[in-house]
Amino acid sequence: MKKVVLVLMVLTILGSVLFAQASAETKNPVLRIITWSGYAPQELLDKFTEQTGYKVEVTLSNNEEMISKLRATRGGGFDLAQPSQDRISSVVEQYAIYQPIDYARINTEQIDASLLEAVKKNTLVDGKSYAVPHVYGTEGLVVNKALAPDVKDFKDLLDPKYAGRVSYRLKRPTLIGMGFSLGYDPFALYSDPVAYQKFLDEMEKILIAGKPSVKTYWDNGDQLLQSLRSEEVWAASAWEQAGWKLHAENPNIDYIAPTSGALGWVDTFAIPAKSENLDAAYAYINFMLEPENAAFFTNRETYGTASKDAVNYLDPEIKANFTRGLPPEVLANINWYPTVPAGIEEMEGKTLDKIKAAR
Amino acid sequence: MMKNRRHIKWGFLFFFLPVVLWLFLLIVLPHLELLRLSFTKANTGKFTLDNYLAFFNEPIYWLTFVRTAGYSIIVTFIVMVISLPVSFYISKIVKERISGALMILILVPFWVSELIRVYGWMILLRESGILNHFFVSIGLFKEPVEMLYNDITMIMGLVYTSMLFMVVPVIGVMDDLDNSLIEAAYDLGASKTAIWRTIIIPHCASGLVNGGIIVFMLVLGSYLTPNLMGGKNSLWFTEQIYNQIILYFNWNQGAAFGFLLLALSSLIIWVLLKLTKQNLKEVVK
Amino acid sequence: MDKALSVQNITKRFGDFTAVNQVSFDVEDGKFFSILGPSGCGKTTLLRMIAGFYKPDSGTILFNGKNMDGVAPNKRPVNLVFQNLALFPMMNVHENIAFGLRRRGEKGPGVDKKVRELLERVGLPESGKKQISQLSGGQKQRIAIARCLIMEPTVLLLDEPLGALDAKLREHMKVELKNLQSQVGTTFVYITHDQSEAMVMSDMVAVMNNGHFEQIGTPQELYHKPKSSFVAQFVGNNNKLRVKLHADSSGNTIARYADQYDFKLAQKLETANENEEYDLFIRPEAVIINPGDGRENFHILPVDVTSILFDGGNSRLLVQPLGTEEELVVALPQTREYDYIRSKDRIQIGWDMNKTVCFKRSDWKLYDEE
């Protein structure tokens, strides 16, 4: 009796595994996406499923985890990813975790041509490009104009006048933004590690000297919003969304593009090397960049979109934010992140550690 | 009879194999892979000791470790000092019904995640927080004072988050302490401090070391509390590992740091056990 | 002689319950004083007040004439041997004994010498290095006493320290403890529920019941001249005859047993209420078997022998007075004089009127199931 039960148990388990395997081979209705929080609103996912029949599984993440996870599986486990454009070519070279994009399958008509070209150029490896632009944004300053009227550029965050009232992230954008603001061109130095190290050493000194101004190095968005809202912090380096959100609550607070130029990022669509559902991945890219869908996303999350005609579908107050904070002359002045050569981030990391550990 | 025995063996294998596989595939194998990574060069895959040497050659790394270990020892010590009277009170002084309620009070904060507990402290202590509001309104402070983002707050937070892991084992051994031993010592002329020194602390030593190891490892390996409450000056060693692996994709360096953390913390525990003449076997028992 | 310990009108209440009620007694220097009573009588509470662990609600405690009011246990010239001995398991024998001296701040070879002397005195030289767990019950006993004696206390309190030992060892330790006390000359205050322990060892015994002392006296006084029904029943074996009193024509008190036997009493008692119940006590060894006629002031009772309990020098007869269902115990001297007695024989027993005591009826639960 016991034996029979045991054999049945083993058979059941084996059977269920085999069955699962078989069904996976015949049809794959699931699209597994690893993306940022807010990039895949449920309404759009439902609409996508309705139109195409593909179900979408979303995993929320960030650039670093996206790379780590895909690296651990050598490009498997997800069918579509949304890394920033500057985080693609180097990981393709090192770990080959993405596959080239077949642009013939992308509806390029609906994409802003200049963004598409820039992304293609930045993700070029061995003559092939690896990404399609989706969302863009900037990092600049969020300032309480009543309390800190003189903050116009990143370097003003070092002003002793605002001791203990300033906050920024201890991450690479701060090093770079501060660099531009103090007259360097960090992106130009990327190709020369020795010169870049010298630049980093300068930044280390300046940021350690500027430590008394800092209340805390913010680490997550809620923390920053809370400190600005309670007026514990008067000026911070942050994204335009934080500024616009607070502007709606307190007109004194707003996003300002630094005089030396805001730092611009583009998040893209990239296809992992072992994507198991290419059809669904391309369909999803085209779907999300349709003007109506892109506008739905921008209205909801207030991020700029690479979809060319989405502007026609934007809510008026969202449109107002863009005209106030990101007018054409500001957009023209943006320092777009280039691809980071290998080793640079480690150098930056050491500098950031030293700054944090310093008294 | 023979047949029956075969049955049992099959059944045993059926349930035992998953456990072995689980341990091997999910714990042993990844660690072996990490160990291999820690001895290889980032891109070439060749054998190297550079990842370990980097720790000793780059002051920022070992200084962070020394700082982390030092603060962990301080926190462990403070937790011991606080949990002794707390456990004594719960175990010996209050009535059984109340001691149960007190235990629950100590346990309740641990039903929510560390993140939420830390945010709780931040709401209390921040410049626009509840404590400041209270002190200003009763006129104790002229204007709000920032109580977050310094080492003392960080230590307090770490003490708070690890308290339970000391109190529980110490109450365990304290319950076994015969009250008449305390009375006998008192009767033989011992002062209160002498009773603590000669009777209660030696009796609780196994619980203290037990809790001490847990608290030390917990604090050494904590990430959220030092980061959120310590603020701008608090670099914790776990953050270095996180940065290496997640931010700089230098798994080799991160793996080496991980094993250094394991080795050095084990060494510290070993030295402390030797110094306090405790036996790990007895402590684990 | 000096009074090592003087307790005056001491009272302790726990809520509504009065554990110790207006107790007074003195202990002379160098004496072995026992407090004997059933468990729950308040003797442990009394001891803990003397040691200082409880604060009395009223009354005073004096050591050598010094008032101990408000003096903490660690400052009193008194030490307590705990019921479970409370040896410190985290220390070895030597450290246990030296504990008190060290707390006094004594250091160096002086301490070692004193510990060695005391270990010799309690008959355990060479065991200083042993752990407590390596000792036998009797050895632990001696170490616990040595640990207190090294403090040279004015009074040594002992809280039933023999309770945990087996019967044979207990008999042995009784004698040993008595000898030790007379050697060191320290005043002992010993509490116990075992009347044999109290009788064998003590110079003076106080019988305690319901929070107060029934009687204080030498063991002989308590045995032969109990002052209360409780003492008569609790100390030693006793036969209890349920009687009613009346007076005869010449004014003597007569006790009537089982509505048919009249015994004239040596005492004069209140006889106004003839229905009031009294107990008449006769020790088993005071009873004479087949006493014969013609004795003065003598009580005679015909009985049936129900059984013969042979136990060497402690042999007894169980007998049933005619016309009753009660059972009396009679000592059976092994002089071969009474070898003829068989079970179910009808015999006569008798006793001297002066060897009886009579008290108003009161029943006590004498042996609790511990």
Contact C34, C192 (CB under 8 A): yes
Measured distance CA(A121)–CA(C144) in Å, rounded: 90
Domain boundaries, chain C: 3-234, 239-360
CA of B185 to nearest chain C CA: how many angstroms apart? Answer: 8
Provide the b/e sequence for B2-26 (b: ≥16 CB within 10 Å): eeeeeeeeeeeeeeeeeeeeeeeee
Please tell me the distance from the alpha carbon of residue C251 to that of residue C269, in angstroms, as a whole number. 10
Q: How far is CA C261 from the centre of its chain?
A: 33
d(CA B145, CA B275): 41
Given a cut of 90, is residue B7 above it in pLDDT?
Answer: no
Beta-bridged to residue C26, according to DSSP, are C6
From the list C53, C74, C80, the residue facing B191 with the nearest CB is C74
Domains of chain B (ranges; CATH) run 51-284 (1.10.3720.10)
C78 CB neighbours in chain B (<8 A) are 187
C-contacting residues of B 88-127, CB under 8 Å? none
Count contacts between A and B (CB, < 8 Å).
Answer: 78
What does each of the 370 residues of chain C score in pLDDT, given as a tens digit? 578 999 999 999 998 888 999 999 999 999 999 999 988 888 999 999 999 999 999 999 999 988 988 899 999 999 999 988 899 999 999 999 999 999 988 888 889 999 999 898 888 888 889 999 999 888 998 899 999 999 999 999 999 888 778 888 888 888 888 998 998 899 999 999 988 889 999 999 999 998 899 999 999 999 999 998 889 888 888 899 888 888 888 888 888 888 888 888 888 777 777 778 888 999 999 999 988 877 888 888 999 999 999 988 889 999 999 988 889 999 998 888 888 888 888 999 999 988 899 888 876 655 544 3
At residue A5 the predicted structure's pLDDT band, cuts being 50, 70 and 90, is: low
Q: Which two tokens stand for residue C300?
A: 């005679």
Q: What is the DSSP letter of B231?
A: G
**Residue C279, φ and ψ in degrees, nearest 5:** -115, 135
> Does residue A24 belong to the interface with chain B, where contact is any CB pair within 8 Å?
no
As a whole number, the mean pLDDT across chain A is 88
Q: Encode pLDDT of A66-81 as tens digits.
A: 988 898 888 999 999 9
The Cα-based distances of C195 to A332, C21, C220 in angstroms read 108, 22, 12
Coil, strand or helix at B280: helix
Give all chains having 3 or more CB-to-CB distances under 8 Å with chain B.
A, C
| CATH tag, C239-360 | 2.40.50.140
pLDDT of residue B100: 87
Express each pLDDT in A90-133 by its tens digit. Answer: 889 888 999 999 999 999 999 988 889 889 988 999 999 999 99
Q: Is the confidence at residue A254, as pLDDT, over 80? A: yes
Rounded to an integer, what distance in angstroms lies between the CA atom of residue C239 and that of residue C280? 8
Q: How far is CA A305 from the centre of its chain?
A: 13
Nearest to A305 by CA among A317, A321, A316, A289: A289
Q: Which chains touch A (3 or more CB pairs under 8 A)?
A: B
Name the band, by pLDDT with cuts 50, 70 and 90, for residue B113.
confident
CB contact under 8 A, B188 and C51: no
Other CB atoms within 10 Å distance of the CB of residue B164? 19
Residue C157, pLDDT score: 94
Q: What is the dihedral of CA A84, A89, A95, A96, to 10 degrees?
A: 100
Question: What does the pLDDT read at residue A2?
Answer: 54
B128 CB-near residues (< 8 Å, 6+ apart): A230, A231, A232, B144
Phi and psi at B109, nearest 5°, equal -60, -20
Percent of the residues in chain B that have a pLDDT greater than 70, as a whole number: 94
Averaged pLDDT, B71-80: 94
In the numeric block, the tokens 């641990």 are attached to B110
Chain B environment of A353 (Cβ under 8 Å): 60, 64, 235, 240, 243
Tokens of A53: 């029949």
Residue A11 has pLDDT above 90, yes or no: no
A92 sits in which H/E element: helix A89-95
Partner-chain contact B178 C84, CB within 8 Å? yes
- Edge-to-edge strand list for the sheet holding C204-209: C78-81, C155-159, C187-192, C32-36, C204-209, C212-217
CA-to-CA distance for C171 and C173, rounded, in angstroms?
Answer: 6
Residue C369's pLDDT is what? 40
Strand partners, C206: C35, C216
* Confidence (pLDDT) at B6: 57
What was the pLDDT predicted at B119? Answer: 85
**A30 three-state secondary structure:** strand
Tell me: the pLDDT tens digits for B123-151?
888 888 888 888 888 888 888 888 888 88
CB C113 within 8 A of CB C189: no
Cα–Cα distance measured from residue C199 to residue C201, given in angstroms and rounded to the nearest whole number? 6
Mode of pairing for the β-strands spanning A30-35 and A80-81? parallel
Answer whether CATH 3.40.50.300 is correct for domain C3-234. Answer: yes
Whole-number pLDDT of residue B46: 84
> Which residues have CB under 8 Å from B10's CB, separation 6+?
A3, A6
User: With contacts defined as CB-CB under 8 Å, which chain A residues touch B60?
Assistant: 350, 353-354, 357
Predicted ipTM of the assembly: 0.80
Name the residue with tokens 């390996």.
B221
Q: How far apart are CA A135 and CA A138, in angstroms?
A: 11
Q: Amino acid identity of C300?
A: I
The H or E element containing residue B23 is helix B2-23
Tokens for A107, please give them: 């509806």
Q: Which of the four pLDDT bands, split at 50, 70 and 90, describes residue A22?
A: very low
Bridge partner residues of A336 (DSSP): A264
Each residue's pLDDT tens digit, A218-241: 887 888 898 999 999 999 999 999
How confident is residue B245, by pLDDT bands cut at 50, 70 and 90?
confident
Name the token pair of B276: 């306090």
Closest residue to C104, CB basis, from B183, B189, B203: B189
CA distance A164 to A253: 18
**Does A105 contact B at CB distance below 8 Å?**
no
In degrees and rounded to multiples of 5, residue A269 shows phi and psi of -105, 130
Contacts of B251 (CB under 8 A, 6+ apart): A71, B37, B42, B244, B245
At residue A25 the predicted structure's pLDDT band, cuts being 50, 70 and 90, is very low
Chain C residue whose CA is closest to B205: C90
**A221: closest CA of chain B, how far (Å):** 13
Query: Which of A99-108, A350-359, B156-165 is predicted with the least confidence, judged by mean pLDDT?
Result: A350-359
- For position C48, what pLDDT does the model report? 92
What sign results for the dihedral spanned by CA atoms B27, B29, B34, B38? positive
**Count of CB atoms within 10 A of residue C76's CB?**
21
Least Cα distance to C146 among C168, C170, C130 occurs for C130
- Tell me phi and psi for residue A185, to 5 degrees: -125, 85
Is chain A in touch with chain C: ≥3 Cβ pairs within 8 A? Answer: no
pLDDT bucket at A26, cuts 50 / 70 / 90 = very low
pLDDT of residue C161: 86
Q: Are B246 and A67 in contact (CB under 8 A)?
A: no
Q: What is the pLDDT of residue C258?
A: 85
Is the Cβ of A350 closer than 8 Å to some Cβ of chain B?
A: yes
pLDDT score, position B1: 45
Quote the CA–CA distance of A290 and C205 in Å, as a whole number: 106
What local confidence, expressed as pLDDT, does residue A100 receive? 95
Produce one character per residue of B130-146: b if its CB has 16 or more CB atoms within 10 Å, e if not: eebeebeeeeeeeebeb
Strands A98-99 and A271-272: antiparallel
d(CA C308, CA C330): 10
d(C-alpha C224, C-alpha B275), whole Å: 66
Dist CA B79 CA B166 (whole Å) = 7
Percent above pLDDT 90 for chain A: 57
Residues in chain C: 370
More confident call, C367 vs B270: B270
Residues paired with A214 in a beta bridge? A166
Question: What distance in Å separates the CA atoms of residue A180 and residue A188, rounded to the nearest whole number?
Answer: 11
Q: Which domains does chain A have, with CATH numbers?
A: 27-130+265-326 (3.40.190.10), 137-262+339-357 (3.40.190.10)
Interface probe, candidates B232, B244, B252, chain A, greatest A C-beta count within 10 A: B232
Q: Is the pLDDT of residue A46 over 80?
A: yes
Q: Tell me, what's the pLDDT at B144? A: 81
Question: In terms of residues, how long is chain B?
Answer: 285
Positive/negative CA dihedral, B188, B192, B194, B198: positive
Measured between CB atoms, does C103 come within 8 Å of chain B?
yes
pTM for the complete prediction? 0.76
Identify each DSSP E strand in chain C by its residue range. 3-14, 17-28, 32-36, 58-63, 66-67, 78-81, 155-159, 187-192, 204-209, 212-217, 239-247, 253-257, 261-264, 277-282, 288-289, 298-309, 316-321, 328-331, 346-352, 357-360
pLDDT(B281) > 90: no
